Amino acid sequence: MKAAVFHGPQKPLTIENVEVAQPIEREVLVRTVASGVCHSDLHFVDGYYQFPTPAILGHEAAGIVEAVGPHVTEFKPGDHVIACLSVFCGHCSYCLTGRTHLCQSRPVRTPQQPPKLTWNGSPVNQFANLSAYAEKMLVHENGLVKVKNDMPLAQAALIGCGVTTGVGAVLNTARVDAGATVANDRVARRDVARAQHLHTGRVRHDR
C-alpha cells in the first residue's frame, strides 16, 4: 500500500510502498477513505514532540472494513468506521471503571508477533495505534466505532479527533451549562453545535 512515511523532525514525508500485515486476534484491517491533518501530527514533523522513525503519522480518520481477525465480534467487511486514537484494553482497572482514556494496557502486538507495518523489510512504527496517513490501517477493534453507511466519511473522520476534542472542551473544560450564552469563532463552530445540543440559550458567532 502507499503511505506517507515520517523520517524525523524537519524532514519531508515521503510516499512509499509499505506492507501491512493481515489482521490477527482482535485486529481489523480498514481501507482509509479520509484522514484529517491534525496539528498534533504537525508537532511531530516540526520537532516539538518526539516519535521513533520510520513511522506513519495520522490519527484522525474514517474508512471501510476490509478484513477482521478471528476474535473480532463487532465488525465485518463492508462496515463504515471512525478510527479512535484512544484504543483501550477493556479489562484494566481504569477501563473497568469507565475511564478508558487512562487505559494502562493498550493492546499492541508483542515482540514475538510479526510487525503490523514493514518497509523494505524493516518494521515501521505505528503512530497512535492507527497510522492513518496510509491507504490502509490495521487497528484493534477497540479503536474503531461503527457509523451508518450513508454518513460522509470525510466529515466522519473529523469526529476521530477534532470534534471530540472540541466537545471535551465544551463539556469538561468550559463546563457549559444548559441555558448558558456562549461565543465562538470559525474554528470552534462545530463545538458550539454541541453546546446548542445541550439546549444553551444563545450562541454568538464572532467573525
Active site annotation includes 38:
yes
Active site annotation includes 40:
yes
Cell of 131: 497510522
What is the torsion angle, in degrees rounded to the nearest 10, for the CA atoms of residue 186, residue 59, residue 49 and residue 38? Answer: -20
Cα separation of 56 and 103, whole Å? 23
Cα separation of 78 and 149, whole Å? 9
Q: Could you tell me the CA-to-CA distances from 125 to 28, 85, 90 in Å, in that order? A: 17, 15, 23
Of 11, 15, 40, whose CA–CA distance to 135 is shortest?
15
Active-site entry in 35, 59, 84, 103: 59
Active-site entry in 35, 40, 80, 84: 40
Q: Are 162 and 182 contacting, i.e. CB atoms less than 8 angstroms apart?
A: no
Active site annotation includes 161:
yes
Cell of 145: 466505532
Active-site entry in 43, 86, 89, 92: 43
Q: Are 20 and 124 contacting, i.e. CB atoms less than 8 angstroms apart?
A: no
Residues designated catalytic = 38, 40, 43, 59, 161
